[in-house]
Amino acid sequence: MAPSEILFDSEKTVAPIGIIAMSSFAELGKKIDKYLVNWAGKGGLEKDTFLVESECPRFQSGDGKGLIKSTVRGMDLFIMVDVGNYNCKYEYFSHENSMSPDDHYQDLKRIIQAASGKAHRINVIMPILYGGRQHRRSYRESLDCACALQELEAMGVSNIVTFDAHDPRVQNAVPLMGFDNLMPSYQVLKAMLRDLKDLSFEKDKFMVVSPDEGALNRNMYYASVLGVEMGMFYKRRDYSTIVNGRNPIVAHEYLGNPVKDKDVFVSDDIISSGESMLDVAYELKKQKAKRIFTYATYAIFTNGLEKFDKAYDDGIIDGVFGTNLTYRTPELLERPWFHEVDCSKYIAYFIEAINHDVSISQILDPHAKIEALLKKYGMK
């Protein structure tokens, strides 16, 4: 069944849908709910909302609790949380604290506890995996993400849905639990063609470049579906020192075909400080690349936006694409170089597919949709 054919049919659902959008996910949760309500109406089920009201109040001492304000008995429950949303705040000994990933994860567990085992099935949609950036152990280090997944499985969670996991092999920690790692490739290309009217995917005008060896697979996919050439950078690090928990990058070395006079697309899972992405962009400009467009599923800019403002003003970077799967500051949304990729409909499709127990293979691999998109814009 193609995604476009998934419409609400109450006779084929596993159980009635219930959506709990944690405070960190409230904005995106409302968008997803609108799609589901619309599809329910087309399927003959009039529904005002699928959202189940909940909250996680805190005492001044820092203790908290989870509260679900209506019944979830017998529901196919989807709990959605953005563990990276630092804009959520709470009072702690008369000081205002920003919620950390640890706080969001604890609140998620509190809501699962509040469901008290009454839901038919519990599914967790967590775009940024908790602890996902620490993906392999060396020496005496914790593996938070693997432990968290096992903990959620023990609490009765049936499925985890995430986006662009830093290392999807973490699912090996829970081989008997459903784990789906979604890649919004179609949504990214759709946003690029929508916002960049003069963009061409012709082989002599466009090229894909991977910023490092870790991002090879996602960039290989873009290069393959677009039928263009691909290059890559590898990072030369100083393994004799450790700065902020990692070995500093000495230089980015380029491997691949010439980028001269071509538009270049660079994709990665996360822009944190953004230094690596900027280093790559400056190197590409030295090699006479025409325009440079970057994309990160999570554009969080931990060190602020000033360096990207300068790179844009200097003509180094022409656009940065990022999803709405995590919190974006109002300042970022106002930047002329930032383009948002909306993933709300994609998540709604996935919820419908899981709830109807239908194949999700075509949602995971949107090759046919990408081909139709390129055809719509007159590209092969």
pLDDT mean for each 10 residues of the chain (380 residues): 52 88 96 93 87 94 93 96 95 91 96 94 96 79 92 96 91 94 94 94 94 89 94 76 68 85 94 90 93 96 94 96 96 96 95 88 82 86
What is the chain's mean pLDDT, rounded?
90
Phi-psi map region of 127: left, alpha, beta (phi>0 left; psi -120 to 50 alpha): alpha
pLDDT tens track for 301-336: 999 999 999 999 999 999 999 999 999 999 999 999
Pairing label, strands 249-255, 230-237: antiparallel
pLDDT of residue 252: 72
pLDDT of residue 7: 57
pLDDT of residue 247: 66
pLDDT of residue 379: 80
pLDDT of residue 362: 72
Q: What are φ and ψ of residue 251, in 5° steps?
A: -160, 155
Q: In the numeric block, which tokens belong to residue 213?
A: 């060896």
pLDDT of residue 4: 45
pLDDT of residue 134: 79
Q: Among positive and negative, which fits the CA dihedral 140, 146, 151, 154?
A: negative
The DSSP letter of residue 289 is B
Rounded to whole angstroms, the Cα distance separating 75 from 78 reads 9
H helix intervals, 264-343 = 275-286, 306-313, 330-334
Q: In the numeric block, which tokens belong to residue 372?
A: 């139709």
pTM: 0.91
- Rg (the chain; Cα; Å): 22
The DSSP letter of residue 292 is E
In 3-state terms, what secondary structure has residue 97? strand
DSSP assignment of 229-266 equals -EEEEEEEE-TT--BTTBPPEEEEEEESS--BT-EEEE
Q: In the numeric block, which tokens belong to residue 142?
A: 């914790």
pLDDT of residue 215: 87
Q: In the numeric block, which tokens belong to residue 32?
A: 């997803």
